[in-house]
Structure 1
Amino acid sequence: MKRKLLLTLVLCIVFVLSGCMKADFNVKVNEDGSVDLNHVIAVQNEMLSLMEGENPIQKQEFETMGYKAEDYRENGYTGVRVSKHFKTADEMNAFLNKQKQQGETTFNITKEEGFFKDKYVFKGNLDMTDMTEGNAGEDEMGMQAFMSQLDFKFNLTLPMKVTKHDASRVNGNTYTWELVAGQPNNMQLEAEKTNIANIALVVGGAVIVLAGIGYLLIRRKKQVTV
């Protein structure tokens, strides 16, 4: 698959086609702690015509990896949309780490539980350095120059307050990192979620204590009056 992708990139350079390939990686963390992955990887239709219609991105490869995959044809691009649902972040981490190979993507969401707040830490690395392997001299310079024009993005949507991040931009609860082909892409984010149940428990306990104190004060006042 990597050889076909490299062929696509070379053709992009030869014909100077801006935006010939795009990859949108989407991760959504839900209120119940479950996680949904939804990715689109596609090639511009003009590029496919130069390759005699042979798309280097095949959904069968993603299905073999355990994803649900379907054909994608929108806005002048053809490729695949892949998705997968996980009950917990740990389940997703285990799935991705099982498929990880040396020098490729790492992705983890960890949860640090607290009484009033839970802290979520996201760390990711989409390593695309191997996309330039085997190129040297002018070929390497041309490849790197054009790779900066490819449309690769990673979007993380969260239902909680974010306290720290290094995203390229933010839109509501979605944090987007612009990925650079041919380079390692490190991402980091921290978020907090309030434990409503525990806070309610504390407030409820405080109300009971205050009610008890009030009852004692009223009772004492009555005794003094008598």
Structure 2
Amino acid sequence: MKRLLILLMSMTLLLTGCADVVNTVKVNKDGTADLNFDIKLGTAVGLFAGPVISELEPKLEEAGFTIKKTAQNQFSIHKKLEKPTEQADLNAEANQYGVKVKETDGFFMKKIRFDATLDVPKILKEQKLGDQVPTALLSQVDYTLVLDFPIDTIGENNADSKDGGKLTWHIPLEKQNRLYFEIGVPNVKNIAISAGVLLILLVAILIMLIRRRKKRKIS
């Protein structure tokens, strides 16, 4: 999938005199996620986009993506990401994209920190596309990354804006970028245990109060 995403990015760059790309990753409560690319091409470039999109579409569909033309010169590319079966799977997937994951356990909340370095010129050189996509062309793409979480437990981050559980970065593709954020994940087991203990204590206190009141009435 990594190579397809690079191909998708390269296609956008090669076509564009200017383009807007909004890459949204929406994490759902069940652990799945929706990956979406909304691409808006310049008017002149849009005239040449059709054949390239048609050539790319079968490869994207084979990888589980769906592509839809939403308006003139505008496309939406989507994929549903399943929940990793184990934490190790999540770490492996993150490492594949150059993202480092660090976890810090807490009694009520586990803190997870994500650090990523996005270097598109380097990626293009590795894929032997550096000569085809000069830096000047990269600078004409308005690329926005949005991470949308179902809970507002975002900690330290370097996003350009934060709205509840949504983080937004406006990323210049012509240079290396560092992105990071922390998110707290509730430790449901410990919270449940604590809630159970508190409930037991509350019941015990109520029983004591009731007994004392009965004793007072008897005396």
Query: In the superposition, relative to structure 1, how do residues 190 and 220 fare at CA in structure 2: closer, same or farther (>3 Å)?
Result: same
Deviation of 1:215 after TM superposition, in Å, equals: 4.7
CA distance in 2, matches of 1:182, 1:154: 15
Identity %: 26
Aligned length: 201
Verify the 8 A CA contact 2:136 2:174 in the aligned structure 1.
no
2:138 alignment partner, one of 129, 142, 147: 147
Query: What is aligned with 2:52?
Result: 55
2:76 & 2:180 partners in 1: Cα distance?
27
In the other structure, the counterpart of 1:38 is: 36
2:26–2:33 contact (8 Å) kept in structure 1 = yes
Question: What one-letter code is carried by the residue in structure 2 that aligns with 1:54?
Answer: P
Superposition pairs of residues 181-192 of structure 1, within 5 angstroms: 181-192=173-184
User: What amino acid is aligned across from residue 80 of structure 2 in structure 1?
Assistant: K
In the TM superposition, what are the counterparts of 1:4-23 in structure 2 within 5 Å?
7-9=14-16, 12=17, 20-23=18-21
TM-score by length of 2: 0.69
Kindly provide the amino acid, as one letter, of the partner of residue 43 in structure 1.
Answer: L
Q: Which moved more, 1:77-86 or 1:184-193?
A: 77-86
SS in 2 for 1:181: coil
Q: What is the aligned partner in structure 2 of residue 119 from structure 1?
A: 111
- Give the 3 Å change call, closer, same or farther, for CA 199–78 of structure 1 in structure 2: closer
1:173 is aligned to 165
Query: Do the aligned residues in 2 keep the contact of 1:118 with 1:194 (CA within 8 Å)?
Result: yes
Change (3 A) 1:220 1:28: same
User: How does 1:197-216 map onto structure 2 within 5 Å?
Assistant: 198-209=190-201, 211-212=203-204, 215=207
Give 1:109 deviation, angstroms: 5.7
Counterpart contact for 1:58–1:80, Cα < 8 Å: no
Scaled by the length of structure 1, what TM-score is found? Answer: 0.67
What do residues 192-213 of structure 1 show as CA deviations (whole Å, max 9, x unaligned)? 1334563343233134235446
SS at match of 1:55: helix
- The one-letter code of the counterpart of 1:55 is V
Q: 1:85 to 1:129 in 2, by over 3 A?
A: same
